[in-house]
Amino acid sequence: MAKVATVYECQQCGYQSPKWLGKCSDCGAWNSFVEGRPETLARPKAGADTFYSLQSKLAPLEEIGTKAPPRVLTRLSELDRLLGGGMVPGSVILLGGDPGIGKSTLVLQVLASLSEAGGKVAYLSGEESADQIKLRAERLGVKSQNLYVMTENDLSRALPQIEALKPQMLVVDSIQTVYQPDLGSAPGSVTQVRECAGKLLYLAKSRGFTVLLVGHVTKEGALAGPKILEHMVDTVLYFEGDRGQPYRILRTFKNRFGSVSELAVYEMRGSGLVEVTNPSELFLSDSPELAPGSVVVSSLKGTRPLLAELQALVTPSSLGMPRRVTVGVDSQRVALLCAVLEKIVGLHLGGQDIFLNVVGGLDVDEPAVDLGVLLAIVSSFQNRALQKRTLVLGEVGLSGEIRPVAGEAIRLQEAARLGFQRAILPKKGSQEKLPKDLELNRVANVAAALDLL
């Protein structure tokens, strides 16, 4: 009897090897190989309905229509804005996030909203029973005859019923728990995730309904499964937040039908997720005066400006090597700004511990907050507070010059709407129409900005 051949496949990238490897020679992942037979790891037979079997005729570019596809509104304004104006029929969306963060709650609310508008929607769950989904629906107040629920892991048994239903939207919770039995490998493996996603993508494109895939994440916080999954889908969303806090942030990392780096804020309540339409107010202090070390900056998240309070604490260090601790700000950027203060201004920070934090857990990782970080450090070091209701914008160069930032006008408009009265800005600014009720203090270099403290 002939010996059955085996191969080993990397669960991160799909690389195959005839022997087990501790480290993948293709992607560098450690301890990621699992054993399988070649026939179980192979792609489905030719003619199978997968993403790879999508066909079209070769045609000149000029003859291809340019009509924009109609959008389907979820009636959840923040999500519609995040997606670029609603869902595109035939698109595939991937939603990732930590366990317990609220992914299943979010997708159930989306399905409920669509079904209440009259559309048929389907929820395919491979993790929960129908009773558990029903209990969550009752807690959220979901009552609709157009929302269909199915608990099934075998995709070959589930898809015929879904095709017969012809839903407006299908949610698969999660892509790591469904499988195709003809492949033979375990659910969640590279082969299963790739081929199940390809099958669902084929159905979405050929039948014209939206598919939302819920994805697991690794312990490092990245989406689990092969990287090709993110390349196959049209939109990648990530749901994040501290489970000890009520607020959740939904971000776009890829969107073929809209802008990326968009952000929406939700508040988790007993009745479900509630949209926060004015998130800047969450990240700003209610105190009548700013304390030394506190500065308000503006971060552009896609097309939305978010105002956040940045706090710095500078104290004498008792250690041989002073600490530089940052939360929500790039630590390398902070080190650069400290070097500018040492060289250009003559501020001796070598013996000081510097702690920086963005209130509310927001990440502000763009150069536009450089001047705010710098002023916060100096404000804490010299124990001088900035005026209340002052916005600080500007990128700081290595020679101490203040450079202009993108989206200056919309940042200032957001500040004026929230009642800010003063702004410290680069000397070379936007030529667009700016709010008249803001006192604009334009500075050319760091020294001029420090004079305004």
pLDDT surpasses 60 at 49: no
Instruction: Give the list of residues 6+ apart from residue 71 with CB closer than 8 angstroms, or none.
Output: 85, 86, 87, 88
H or E segment and range at residue 107: helix 103-116
Q: What is the pLDDT of residues 83-136, one digit of tens each?
A: 988 999 999 999 998 888 899 999 999 999 999 988 899 999 998 999 999 999
pLDDT in the model for residue 56: 67
Supply 349's token pair. Answer: 């920070």
For residue 1, what pLDDT is reported? 42
The average pLDDT across 328-345 equals 94
Question: How far apart, in whole angstroms, are the C-alpha atoms of residue 44 and residue 21?
Answer: 26
CA-based angle 205:208:211, to the nearest 5? 75
Say which residue the tokens 């702690």 belong to.
355
Mode of pairing for the β-strands spanning 390-392 and 294-301: parallel
Between 251 and 284, the higher pLDDT residue: 251
Tell me what pLDDT residue 66 has: 66
Question: What is the pLDDT, as a whole number, of residue 315?
Answer: 95
Say whether the peptide bond before residue 174 is cis (omega within 30 degrees of 0).
yes
For residue 175, count other CB atoms closer than 10 A to its CB.
29
Indicate the range of 218-222, 248-252, 289-293, 346-350 predicted with least confidence. Answer: 218-222
Which of the following CATH numbers is that of domain 282-450: 3.10.105.10, 3.30.230.10, 3.30.499.10, 3.30.450.40?
3.30.230.10
Task: Tell me the DSSP string of 190-231.
Answer: HHHHHHHHHHHHHHHHHH--EEEEEE-B-TTSSBSS-THHHH
- Residue 267, classified by CB atoms within 10 Å of its CB into exposed (0-12), middle (13-18) or buried (19+), is middle
* Among 382, 404, 405, 397, CA closest to 344: 397
CA torsion sign, 128 to 134 to 140 to 144? positive
Burial of 332 (0-12, 13-18, 19+ CB in 10 A): exposed
Q: What is the pTM of this model?
A: 0.79
Q: Residue 41: which pLDDT band, with cuts at 50, 70 and 90?
A: very low
Token readout for 229 is 């999954």
Phi-psi region of 108 (alpha: psi -120 to 50; beta: other; left: phi over 0): alpha
pLDDT at 120: 93
Q: How far apart are the first and last CA of the chain?
A: 85
Which pLDDT score is estimated for 403? 94
pLDDT at 54 over 70: no
Looking at domain 73-277, does it have CATH number 3.40.50.300?
yes
Domain coordinates of the chain in residue numbers?
7-39, 73-277, 282-450
Q: Which residues pair with 34 in a beta bridge?
A: 9
